[in-house]
Amino acid sequence: MTKIDTSNPEAVLPTPSHTVGPFYGHALPFPGGGDIAPVGHPDTIALQGYVLDGEGKPLPDAFVELWGADPDGNVPQVDGSMRRDPASGGFLGRNGVEFTGWGRIQTDANGHWSARTLRPGARGQSAPYISVCVFARGLLVHLFTRIYLPGDEAVLAADPLLARLDQDRRDTLIATDGGNGTYRFDIRLQGEGETVFLEFQ
C-alpha cells in the first residue's frame, strides 16, 4: 500500500510498516476445527501441545493447521472440513462420515492446542507423519513442520528426513506418547529446542 503526499501529488511515499497480525483471528477460526476424525473411529488419536515463543512462553493467538493421510496412507480427496449452509452462510460443521485429513486449531489463552485425528499410514519411504502449518504473531510467513508418532524406531530411523538430522533436532519432530492414543507435540518457534521447520521450494 502507498500513500500520496497531498502537498506534492507527484510524490508517492511508502506506507509506514505495521505490526504483523494476528488479524487472521477474526475469520479463520471455525467450530470443531480440531475434530478431524469421524466420531467413534477406531484409529482415532488425540494430539495436543503448546505453541511457544523463543523464551518458552506460550502464544495465546497462534493457529495450527494439520493435514494427514488416512490409516492406509492415502491422502483424502474429499471436501467438507468447513461446510456452510448455502442459504445462510452459517457453519454446518463436518458431516461426521468423511475423513478430510485437515483441521485448523487456534491456541487458547494458555497457548494450548488439541485435535482428534486418525493415525496416519506410511506413504512411500517416509515414516507416518502429520503435516503442520503454524501461523503466529510476528511471522511474516507461516512455518511448516511435521509430527511423527513414536513407537517403531526402525521405521523412524529409515525416514529420509529424520535420517538427515542430529538426534536432538530429530527429537523436535517426534511426539511424546501419553498413552491410550494420546500424544503431545509442542512447537517452539525459536531458541533452545526450536522445532525443525521445513522449506518447500
> Quick one: pLDDT at residue 88?
84
In tens digits, the chain (201 residues) has pLDDT values of 433 445 555 665 665 555 555 555 666 777 788 999 998 999 999 999 999 999 999 999 899 999 999 999 999 988 777 777 788 877 777 777 889 999 999 999 999 999 999 999 998 899 999 999 999 887 778 999 999 999 889 999 999 999 999 999 999 999 999 999 999 999 999 999 999 999 887
> Quick one: pLDDT at residue 1?
40
Q: Which residue has the cell 517452539?
A: 188
Query: Which of 178, 180, 189 is CA-nearest to residue 132?
Result: 189
Q: Which residue has the cell 503442520?
A: 132
The contacts found for 18-22 with CB under 8 angstroms, 24 or more apart, are: 19/137, 20/137, 20/138, 20/139, 20/140, 21/61, 21/135, 21/136, 21/137, 21/138, 21/139, 22/61, 22/62, 22/135, 22/136, 22/137
Chain centroid to Cα 84, Å, comes to 22
> Quick one: pLDDT at residue 27?
62
C-alpha cell at 160: 529420509
* Pure H helices in 117-193: 153-158, 160-163, 167-170
| Residue 3 phi, psi (nearest 5) | -125, 155
| Residue 167 phi, psi (nearest 5) | -55, -45
> Quick one: pLDDT at residue 32?
84
Residues 12 and 166: their CA atoms lie apart, in Å, by 50
Residues 44 and 36: their CA atoms lie apart, in Å, by 9
